[in-house]
Amino acid sequence: MAKVTMADVAKYAGVSKSTVSQYINKRYEYMGEDTRKKIKSAIEQLGYHPNYIARSLKQKKTSMIGIIVADIVHRFSTEICRSIEDYCFEHDYQAIICNADNNPKKERTYIETLRAKQVDGLIIFPTGQNTDIYAKMIEEDYPVVFMDRDIPEIDAPFILSTNVESSYHAIKLFLENGHRNIAILTQPLTISTRKERIEGYKKALLENSIDICEDNIISSEIENVKNELHHLFQKKNPPTAILAGNDLVFLETLAFLQEKKLRIPEDVSLIVFDNFPFAHLSNPPMTMIAQPAFEMGKKATEILLKQVNKEYFKVEKIIYPCELIVRQSSIKKI
């Protein structure tokens, strides 16, 4: 059976080929309702499928964007991807999601591959270790937005959150409840978010004239978190409060405390810095620092599509405030 063409649809509907093209590209401004119905019926009756490759070559646009996520396992990243995809769908774009595993080599490969596939732009949770390729995209005016992680030497749109301030307020909450021996756990300090959360931790302690104990600052791969906690809690004076730097660190911390039969908050108070979906249902309900992931994802996509469509946009770092949601896991007073 011969492939149905746009000309076949035009002939069946009794309209010109250019009118069918306008319909497919959703340019309805000067098209009557009756004409639209005729073309729609012709497409359905003939089983016509538009050639989007040919369309993209003609328009020099694929209506597709790429999302390169550092680690899709994080709830925060998943929520942002969902928000981006929702916004894309509303605006007749499609999103391709790639997971870089915080691996700069994978990230570089995905950037090169997606650009080779002619996606219209990229939203990247950067590893921070491919500055040459980031800079090249900026130099070439290729549409790109960086998400969650700051790279000071790159002049591009960034969507960030208040890591320093949020960590600071979490530690202040512990201090207000009488805690002085407070630990913070993060993954390795390879990206800005983890460094900033430790910066906020130190700032709160120093403002209250509490010496920084380096043993209480753990930056470890996820598989080693429980082992690091084991060493920490073997000390004569283990911490009475912990700030878990993200959801994956939190889960390992929670597993450790349960294995050691340490109660929350009676033995150890706990706060998690991340979007943890069932925090209010845990036992006890968990204090958390929530990031506005859906708003951040929407804003990133808005800015990216403005670049794609050659509209005005401001090159700036947009920083979203986080929310400290206080629940029972952190209210134990010393």
Within this chain, domains 6-50 and 63-161+293-321 share the same CATH topology: no
Task: Tell me the average pLDDT across 77-103.
Answer: 96
In sequence order, the 6+-apart residues with CB closer than 8 A to the CB of 87 are 297, 298, 301, 302
User: What is the third-level CATH fold of 63-161+293-321?
Assistant: Rossmann fold (3.40.50)
Structure tokens at 123: 């939203």
Structure tokens at 238: 């283990």
In sequence order, the 6+-apart residues with CB closer than 8 A to the CB of 50 are 6, 24
Alpha-carbon dihedral sign for residues 35, 37, 40, 44? negative
Nearest to 81 by CA among 301, 277, 312, 307: 301
- Per residue in 151-190, pLDDT (tens digit) is 999 999 999 999 999 999 999 999 999 999 999 999 999 9
CB neighbour burial string for 222-240, b if at least 16 within 10 angstroms, e if fewer: eeebbebbeebbeeeebbb
Pick the CATH number of 163-291+324-330 from 3.40.462.10, 3.40.50.2300, 1.10.3720.10, 3.90.1150.10: 3.40.50.2300
- Per residue in 102-158, pLDDT (tens digit) is 999 999 999 999 999 999 999 999 999 999 999 999 999 999 999 999 999 999 999
Rounded to two decimals, what is the model's pTM?
A: 0.84
Name the burial class of residue 154, with classes exposed (0-12), middle (13-18) and buried (19+) by CB atoms within 10 angstroms of its CB. Answer: middle
Q: What is the pLDDT of residue 23?
A: 77
First to last CA, the chain: 79
Task: Give phi and psi for 95, each to the nearest 5.
Answer: -120, 135
Per CATH, the homologous superfamily of domain 6-50 is lambda repressor-like DNA-binding domains (1.10.260.40)
DSSP 168-225: HHHHHHHHHTT--SEEEEES-S-SHHHHHHHHHHHHHHHHTT----GGGEEE--GGGH
Confidence of residue 12 (pLDDT cuts 50, 70, 90): confident
Domain boundaries, the chain: 6-50, 63-161+293-321, 163-291+324-330
Say which DSSP state 146 is in.
Answer: E
- Per residue in 247-297, pLDDT (tens digit) is 999 999 999 999 999 999 999 999 999 887 777 878 899 999 999 999 999
Structure tokens at 128: 């921070």
